[in-house]
Amino acid sequence: MKATAKAPANIAFIKYWGKSDNELRLPLNDSFSMNMSGAYTITTAEFSSAWKEDTVRLLDGEFSVSEVSRVIKGLDRIRARAGSTKKATVVTKNTFPKGAGSAASASGFAALTLAGFTALGVSLSEKELTTFSRQGSGSACRSIPDGFVVWEKGIDNDSSYAYSLYPPGYWDIRDILVIVDKRMKKVSTTEGMETIRTSPYLDTRLASVPGRMAAIQRAFQRKDFTGFGEITEEDCLDMHKVMQSQVPPLMYWNDTTRVIMDAVRRWRRDGLPVYFTIDAGPNVHVLCEGQHEAETLEKLRTFPGIVDFILNRPAEGARVIADHLF
C-alpha cells in the first residue's frame, strides 16, 4: 500500500492572508494563483498494519517536531476518511527551500493528500482533494488543480475549495523565483496570521479583494499583461502593508528583496514589462511573459545577494507518479 505524488508550489496573484476558521483553515478572502513548474514536492506514503507508529522524513532537510505533528494530523484525516488504522511511513523532498516563504507547505500537503489517499486505495474527486489538503495548509488546495487556480473562501468545509480557471498552456507567464534567503523564517505563516486582526488596514484590504479578483480575471480573459501585473503587484503590497502594521509587525523583506523590487520598477519604466510579487518571506517572484524571460534573468544575475533562481512556467496540479522515494 504505497503511492507517490508530485505537487507544485503555487504563487498567489491575489493573496490569502488570514483565516475565518483556524481548524478548517477557511480564508478571509478568495484568492487566485499559478502552479509553478520548477518548485514542487514529491512525497511517497506507505501504510502497513505492521508498524506501531508513523514515521515522517524530509530528504535533504529536517522537519521540526511541530511540522511532524502537523503531517501526522494530516495522515489522521486521511485515515479517518479511508476507514483505516494503519500507520504510515512518509518520505518527502522539495526542489526549493522549506519555510522561506515559497509555499513549501502548499505543495507538501497537496502531495501528501494525494499520495495518502492513493496508497489507501481511496479515489476522491478533485474538489474533495482540495478540501482535505486545505485543512493541512490553506494554500495547498490551490496546488491540486491545474494551471491558474481560484480558491473560493466559502463558509464551511464543503464550500471552501479550489478549481482551475485556465489550464497551464493558456498563457505563457513566467515566474522567476529569486531566492535571496534559504533559511527558515522566524515567524511562520500560521503564526503570522494569528495577529492579523491587530492591523488597522485589514478591513480595507478585505473590502478591496473582490474587485481585484474580478479585475484580474478580466485581465486574464484579454491576456492583458500590464493589467495583470499592476493588480498582482498592488495586492502583494497591500498584503504586506497588513503584515507590517500588525502587532508585532511582520517584516519579511530583507535588503536584497527591496533592491529587486526597486529594480523591477526601474526596468518597467525603461520599457521592460515585468512585475513582482512576494509571499510571506523575503524571496521575490519576478513575473514576465515568456518572450522577456531571458532578458529579465540576465538583468537579475547582475545583483549581489541572490542565492539561486528557480524558473517556472504554469504547471499542472498534483499527480500520482510511478517513481517512489523509498
Q: Summarize the confidence of residues 295-305 as an average pLDDT.
A: 95
CATH homologous superfamily of 173-312: GHMP kinase, C-terminal domain (3.30.70.890)
CA nearest neighbour of 102 among 283, 299, 313: 283
Q: Where are the domains of the chain?
A: 2-168, 173-312
pLDDT at 262 > cutoff 90: yes
pLDDT at 104 > cutoff 90: no
pLDDT digit string, tens, across residues 27-63: 999 999 999 999 999 999 999 999 999 999 999 888 8
Gap between the Cα atoms of 73 and 125, Å rounded: 21
Where residue 103 falls among pLDDT bands split at 50, 70, 90? Answer: low
Gap between the Cα atoms of 165 and 187, Å rounded: 32
Environment class of 249 (CB within 10 Å of its CB; exposed 0-12, middle 13-18, buried 19+): exposed
CA nearest neighbour of 135 among 90, 211, 188, 190: 190
Give pTM, 2 decimals. 0.95
User: What pLDDT sits at residue 248?
Assistant: 94
pLDDT digit string, tens, across residues 230-248: 999 999 999 999 999 999 9
Where residue 22 falls among pLDDT bands split at 50, 70, 90? Answer: very high
Q: Summarize the confidence of residues 273-290 as an average pLDDT.
A: 96
CATH 3.30.230.10 is held by the domain 2-168: yes
Contact at 8 Å (CB) between 314 and 35? yes
